[in-house]
Amino acid sequence: MATQTTDKFKKIISHAKEYGFVFLSSEIYDGLGAVYDYGPYGVELKNNIKEYWWKSMVYLHENIVGLDSAIFMHPKVWEASGHLSAFNDPLIDNKDSKKRYRADVLIEDQIEKIREKINKEVKKAKKRFGDSFDEQKFIETSQRVQKYLSQIEEITKRFVAAMENNDLKELRQIIEDYEITDPVSGSKNWTEVRQFNLMFETKLGSVSDEANSIYLRPETAQGIFVNFLNVQKTARMSLPFGIAQIGKAFRNEIVARQFIFRMREFEQMEMQFFVRPGEELKWFEYWKEKRWNWHINLGFGEEKYRFHKHDKLAHYANAAYDIEYEFPFGFKEIEGIHSRTDYDLSQHQKFSGKKIQYFDNELNKSYVPYVVETSIGLDRTFLMILSNSYTEEEIRNEKGQTESRVVMKIPPALAPVKIAVFPLVKKDGLPEKAKEIFKLLKPYVKVVYEEKDSIGRRYRRQDAIGTPYCITVDHQTLEDETVTIRDRDTMEQERIPITEVLDVVQKKTSMTELLKNLL
């Protein structure tokens, strides 16, 4: 990771803590690995992200309904789904640094490193040849690039085969053959590769040795599958239709790093779309496009996203893509779109002994539906928004001096606080007037009132939280019922009548407007 991007990421993490977005869990006891709490502004942002996702799924699609299933499920669920036997990560330890890694991630990172070398070569050549540069031709003819490409091809081929065959020895061999080193210490002194199941186990019942082992769900999807018939029948749904759910999931991640990117307790927003067998790939393309548009609609720029096709498919899938976002530490998965075939429903049918089928009136027959899933991490979306919004700017303050400000340019509809109300000074009846406006706005939008500190410091504080608007009540307000309204991004101020404040704020921060673009 380049130093600049590491620095930016560090700043984002400390900003998130300092301004009440994210705290370490149990911080007074020095924290708990890869578990985090969301503070006063974090929880608002999180709720807004959920609203954006939920409404885009359940309100904008008449054939999608919601569900809130329990975290604990019958232990057979995880036998049927394959998680008990196959939800494993290959782990490897470095004997010198005593650090633990995922062998597959070490290999994937090695492939990415070679890709970066190719990008560097292309950039260098572009500079050398200027306007006449033909990238494709360069890639085809440069011996060095071709060498890198064949390396990638070779590693990928071996890697995919090893993962598919659960061949831990081969994974270890790849690490040795390509001289993959510990990213921290540079050491090549590795242990063997072992499998590690990611599910958290606990006991159900009061007497622990007699009680049954149950698991904290590692994905919310299974709660949807086991409720397929309940939902289909009670909501009178016909195929194709979807079930959406937001909820906690738990994974005992081997390597939990990068702040809230990889957590042991996290939240997923998942939608399972049930379709006729044979139509799944058409719907897969449909959902790929829909989900791409949902991201682009946030306005961060298309260049910040890319699709990544899975080389190794999960045991249940016949097609899978990730949407990746360019975090400060590189392009990483934020969402998965998977064609899961009829695997899950068929498995639950087999393990429960209950028929899980849909009668298709048009075809006049029953079958187990196929499923296309969209699965996005709420916490990763949160981190994406923090990363994209964090901006440092040089500005001129009220006294004409330059100073730097940190502003969170969060999309206004998702901003934790929509507007702040300030009296210019703490006297002359200004606080009373400001509180009147504060009360007026409260039922409509998340608004805060602040009278402490200089007006400049109050603006800075709201910038740091990402509040799109601040209004200031001054002496003129008492004469003509107008206030100044300041825009977070441009810092421009305008005078408007108090009666227009709500309208201006609601228009610019409207979730409805954001959703309308997706229709």
* Binding interface with ligand GAP (CB under 6 A): 219, 221, 251, 253, 262-263, 266, 268, 270, 333-336, 373, 375-377, 379-380
Closest residue to bound ligand GAP by CB? 377
Cα 324–Cα 327–Cα 329 angle in degrees, nearest 5? 115
Q: Name the minimum Å distance from CB 379 to ligand GAP.
A: 5
Angle between helices 378-389 and 3-18 (to 10 degrees): 110
Sequence-distant (6+) residues with CB within 8 A of 23 are 17, 36, 37, 38, 39
* Residue with Cβ nearer ligand GAP (260 or 407): 260
* Residue with Cβ nearer ligand GAP (224 or 434): 224
Q: Name the minimum Å distance from CB 375 to ligand GAP.
A: 4
Beta pairing, strands 402-408 & 370-377: unpaired
Q: Name the minimum Å distance from CB 450 to ligand GAP.
A: 34
Q: Name the minimum Å distance from CB 335 to ligand GAP.
A: 5
Token pair for 313:
């498919």
Beta pairing, strands 469-473 & 419-423: parallel
Q: Name the minimum Å distance from CB 240 to ligand GAP.
A: 19
Token pair for 404:
């730097």
Token pair for 237:
């749904």
Q: Which 3 state secondary structure label does DSSP give 187?
A: coil
Q: Name the minimum Å distance from CB 55 to ligand GAP.
A: 20
* Residue with Cβ nearer ligand GAP (111 or 256): 256
* Residue with Cβ nearer ligand GAP (262 or 458): 262
Neighbours of 413 (CB within 10 A): 20
Q: Name the minimum Å distance from CB 500 to ligand GAP.
A: 40
Q: Distances from the Cα of 422 to the Cαs of 18, 405, 459, in angstroms?
A: 22, 19, 9
Q: Name the minimum Å distance from CB 9 to ligand GAP.
A: 16
Q: Name the minimum Å distance from CB 310 to ligand GAP.
A: 10
Q: Which 3 state secondary structure label does DSSP give 265?
A: strand
Cα separation of 454 and 2, whole Å? 38
Cα separation of 384 and 251, whole Å? 21
* Residue with Cβ nearer ligand GAP (343 or 358): 343
Sequence letter at residue 137: K
Token pair for 104:
């597959």
* Residue with Cβ nearer ligand GAP (259 or 438): 259
Q: Which 3 state secondary structure label does DSSP give 481?
A: coil
* Residue with Cβ nearer ligand GAP (182 or 219): 219
Cα separation of 217 and 196, whole Å? 16
* Residue with Cβ nearer ligand GAP (383 or 483): 383
Q: Name the minimum Å distance from CB 249 to ligand GAP.
A: 7
* Residue with Cβ nearer ligand GAP (300 or 469): 300
Q: Name the minimum Å distance from CB 291 to ligand GAP.
A: 11
Sequence letter at residue 294: W
* Residue with Cβ nearer ligand GAP (308 or 435): 308
Beta pairing, strands 88-93 & 194-197: antiparallel
Cα separation of 241 and 273, whole Å? 6
* Residue with Cβ nearer ligand GAP (334 or 368): 334
- 3-state DSSP of 373-418: EEEEEHHHHHHHHHHHHEEEEEEECCCCCEEEEEEECCCHHHCCCC
Residues 185 and 97 sit within 8 Å (Cβ to Cβ): yes
